[in-house]
Amino acid sequence: MGVYPASKKDTVFFFINSASIFLFFALSLSIKSGYSYGPALLILFALFSLPWWAKNIRLQRAHYWFLLVLLLSALVGFSDAIRAGADAGDYNRPARYLACMLLFVYFTVYPPRARWIWWGVAIGAIGAGVSAIYYTYFNIPPVWRAAKYLNPIQFGDSAALLATLCLCGLVATYKKHHLLFTMLILGALLALVASILSESRGSWLALMIWFVVLIVLALFYFKNAKNYGLILVGFLLIVMATFFTIGGETTLKRINEVTQQISLYTEKGQDHRSIGARLSMWRFGLHEGMSYPIFGANRAQMLEDKKVWVAEGRAGEAIVNLGHLHNEFIDRFAITGIVGLVILLALFLYPLGFFLRKPTNTHLHDHSAEQRILALKMAGVTTVIMHMGFGLTQVSLNAHNSGFMLYVIPVSLFFALLAAKNTDEYKLRSC
């Protein structure tokens, strides 16, 4: 449970944490590696100030389970790196889980102010849209698929995530913080524009999945949430108008390419285009996982087996040239077997179950407080659902820094804010 800002020292902790989380979201897609600066500040400050805040740690069962999932994720990553004979740089990926364990515990003691989170999300979403528009229409020469600093798929996925988080923020600010409410609407629209200009079809698929899930939850699960469901329904009309007004011919072309390339793959076996290559990789990945079912093949062995498949004429060169299998779940199964796949699912499903299972605090009689807590719960669900959707066509969590940072840190943040048995007065006031 977070502590009250009863002293100047506590006030400093809350301010630094809130400002760092604001920077994390606000800079995430606007500058190169923008998602790294806020967490770097947090880790440095958490380590430096450990003697002061460690005495206030009060972990509960839910905290321990989540920490266990993060630890197991790290161990799976270290195991794969060792088995593959990886160099020192490849140990950075699993080490990040350990760093996030530290941040998670730190968040339980000094949770950032939620209003700073929503401001960061709004500014980050606006920055993503402005960046995409500039690099598409004004940069000379234009940047391919709007992504200056990131892989276009990662840029589009991350922009879509920020758009949906903006919608969650609307629930917290509805009829209250008019400027922030307006900025969140603008952010959602501009982040959606960024997703469209990135031409990332995986982000559009994730958006559709998220929308269906959130509508069902808003109407039938979350207490007193029907009005918020109406907010999402209204926004759907804006989404559709934006897609076909701004995306226009390009959006429809990208969607039509899917059916065309599937036909070429099924009828002629062509897998040199993006969809055909994915289908070949998924077929290979399932075979690889079944060949090494318990602990997987490891990354180095999988590369050798890809080359064998190509030499035997069972797939084209494209599957060798791509570093992963463009499906989070199949990629984990192939590399780390059932063990790794189960831990990956736990990394998604345990937080999701927590966000859905945790009841709104029954001791709160302030409707505004319930509204703010509901927004955080929806943000947690949104982060998990969107990344599971991204994982159907991309390996973002285990292959890209941006995917990892924009999943594990937000989930840790929302989990820590909601996990206390009693939400303290400061946390309510600051949401």
- Element containing residue 419 per DSSP (H, E): none
How many CB atoms neighbour CB 87 within 10 A? 8
Report the distance separating Cα 198 and Cα 154, nearest Å: 9
Instruction: Mention every residue, 6+ apart, whose C-beta is less than 8 A from residue 177.
Output: 115
Residues shown for the chain: 431
- pLDDT computed for residue 374 by the predictor: 85
For residue range 192-202, what is the model confidence (pLDDT) as tens digits?
999 999 999 99
Question: What DSSP string describes 348-393?
Answer: HHHHHHHHHHSPPPTT---HHHHHHHHHHHHHHHHHHHHHHHHTTT
Q: Is the dihedral of CA 119, 145, 402, 215 positive or negative?
A: positive
Domain boundaries, the chain: 8-244+378-430
Q: 25: helix, coil or strand?
A: helix
pTM of this prediction?
0.93
The DSSP code for 140 is S
Asked which of 56-70, 134-148, 206-220 is least confident by mean pLDDT, the reply is 206-220
Question: For residue 33, which of 406, 412, 408 has the smallest C-alpha distance?
Answer: 406
Question: CA end-to-end span of the chain, whole Å?
Answer: 16
Proportion of the chain above pLDDT 90, given as a percent: 58
Q: Residue 268 — φ and ψ, nearest 5°?
A: -125, -5
Strongest mean pLDDT among 54-68, 163-177, 314-328: 54-68
Return all residues near 23 (Cβ < 8 A) that are at least 6 apart: 37, 38, 41, 120
pLDDT tens digits for range 13-54: 889 999 999 999 999 999 999 999 999 999 999 999 999 999
Asked if 3 contacts 110 with a C-beta cutoff of 8 angstroms, the reply is yes
- pLDDT score, position 429: 45
- Phi-psi bin for 215: left (phi > 0), alpha (psi -120 to 50), beta? alpha
List the structure tokens of 284: 């290979």
Q: Are 125 and 166 in contact (CB under 8 A)?
A: yes
Q: How many CB atoms lie within 10 A of CB 267?
A: 8
- Which token pair is 223? 């207490």
| pLDDT (0 to 100) of residue 200 | 92
What's the sign of the alpha-carbon dihedral 343, 348, 352, 354?
positive
pLDDT-derived band at 422, boundaries 50, 70, 90: very low
| Percent of all residues in the chain with a pLDDT value above 70, rounded to a whole number | 86
Residue 310 has pLDDT above 80, yes or no: yes
C-beta separation of 184 from 170 below 8 A: yes
Of 400, 389, 386, nearest in space to 162 by CA: 386
Q: Residue 391 has what pLDDT?
A: 96
The amino acid that residue 141 corresponds to is P
Question: Which has the closest alpha carbon to 190: 141, 281, 126?
Answer: 126
- Given this model, what pLDDT does residue 254 score? 85
Predicted confidence at residue 255, as pLDDT, reads 84
Question: Across the chain, what does the average pLDDT equal?
Answer: 87
Structure-model confidence comparison of residues 431 and 171, the more confident one: 171
Measured CA angle at 78 (ends 73, 83), to 5 deg: 130
pLDDT of residue 284: 95
Q: Which has more pLDDT, 93 or 408? A: 408
- Residues 158-167 have a mean pLDDT of 94
Question: Residue 342: what pLDDT?
Answer: 98
pLDDT at res. 184 = 94
How far is Cα 105 from Cα 258, in angstroms, rounded to an integer? 44
Using a CB cutoff of 8 Å and minimum separation of 24, what contacts does 57-63 make?
Answer: 57/105, 57/108, 57/109, 58/1, 58/108, 58/109, 59/105, 59/108, 60/419, 60/420, 60/421, 62/354, 62/415, 62/419, 63/104, 63/105, 63/108, 63/416, 63/419
| Sign of the CA dihedral with 44 first, then 45, 51, and 57 last | negative
CA angle 183, 28, 376 (to 5 degrees): 60
* Sign of torsion over alpha carbons 112, 116, 117, 120: negative
Over residues 274-284, the pLDDT tens digits come to 899 899 999 99
- Reported as a single tens digit per residue, the pLDDT across 211-270 is 888 777 777 776 655 556 656 665 666 676 666 666 667 777 888 888 898 888 888 778
